[in-house]
Amino acid sequence: MIKGPSLHLTNLTVAVKGMTLLSAMDLSLDGGLWHGIAGPNGGGKSTLLKAIAGLHNHSGTIELHWPEGRDAIGYMPQLSPFDASLPVTALDFLRMHCDKRPVWLRFKGDPKIAAVVEKVRIQGLLSKRLGTLSSGERQRVLLACALLNSPHILLLDEPLAGVDKYGREQILEILMTFKANGGTIIMIEHDWQILQQHCDSLSWIDGTLQTHGDPMSVLQSLQVPSIGLRHAS
């Protein structure tokens, strides 16, 4: 079993179009654990994941320490609106993440896709256009994309947003298995119960790191009802 990498941030600062979104942030997260990220809207949580994934320029340092050399990163972006009229099926979308060539030039029986489709249980969605999928179904397709390259670290931006109870249980089961196999998870989440039950650590971010520790202690110190975290029914 290959353990996922640890993460070390030193004086991380991210500015976009002249606006500082994260400032002087220091944080260390151990490998092979499930780390929760929470904070107010606009506090820099998504910016942090994009910086780690290499999608934002930054100052300071971001270091991933891999136990057995550099390996793949799986990134699941925040669910956002898109052009629902695009004639793209869920299978097309997965194939586009496997190869930069046009999807019609690629053999449809890619074994990587077959394996991740079975793992995420989206066989019934493959022929459907993305625009017809529910929010929860699109989340499962996005998670499948993040898992395509067999990563040892997952960067997840609200993976449970818009997902019903059954879908949420499926996704959490997949993530628990990923961690049990040695993977590192860094996940943005707003449900305090999920943070408390599944995460080994919790970082509260508002422009920079405000507090970090075990989820129970952090949530108690922040007084959960007053900071906008929710409990999904």
Average pLDDT of the residues in 53-82: 86
Averaged over 127-133, what is the pLDDT? 89
Measure the CA angle with vertex 143, ends 139 and 172; round to 5°: 85
Mean pLDDT of the chain: 88
Question: pLDDT value at position 99?
Answer: 61
pLDDT tens digits, 154-174? 999 999 998 999 889 999 999
* CA pair distance 141, 97, nearest whole angstrom: 11
Strand pairing partners for 157? 188
Name the residue ranges covered by the structural domains of the chain. 1-72+150-232, 84-147
Beta strands 19-29 and 6-16 are: antiparallel
pLDDT tens sequence across 206-230: 999 999 999 999 988 887 654 555 5
Please give the pLDDT value at position 96: 81
User: Higher model confidence: residue 136 or residue 71?
Assistant: 136
Which H/E stretch holds residue 174?
helix 165-180
Helices (H) and strands (E) in the chain, counts: 7, 9
Q: Mean pLDDT throughout 21-45?
A: 95
Q: Report which of residues 187 and 91 the model is more confident about.
A: 187
Mean pLDDT for the stretch of residues 98-111: 58
* pLDDT value at residue 85: 74
- Give the rounded distance of the alpha carbon of 43 from its chain centre: 17
Specify the pTM: 0.90
| Residue at 210: amino acid letter | Q
Place of tokens 């290499």: 54
Task: Identify the pLDDT of residue 104.
Answer: 47
State the fold for domain 1-72+150-232. Rossmann fold (3.40.50)
Cα angle, residue 2 at apex, residues 117 and 27 outer, rounded to 5°: 95
Whether the Cβ atoms of residue 200 and residue 212 lie closer than 8 Å to each other: no
Name the band, by pLDDT with cuts 50, 70 and 90, for residue 15. very high
pLDDT band, very low/low/confident/very high, at 67 (cuts 50, 70, 90): confident
C-beta neighbour count of 197 within 10 angstroms: 10
For residue 127, the model assigns a pLDDT of 92
Which positions ≥6 away from 188 have C-beta within 8 Å? 36, 37, 38, 45, 46, 49, 78, 156, 157, 158
- What end-to-end distance do the CA atoms of the chain give, in Å? 35
pLDDT of residue 93: 87
Q: What is the CA radius of gyration of the chain?
A: 18
Mean pLDDT of 98-102: 58
Amino acid identity for residue 97 in this structure? H
Position 31 pLDDT exceeds 70: yes
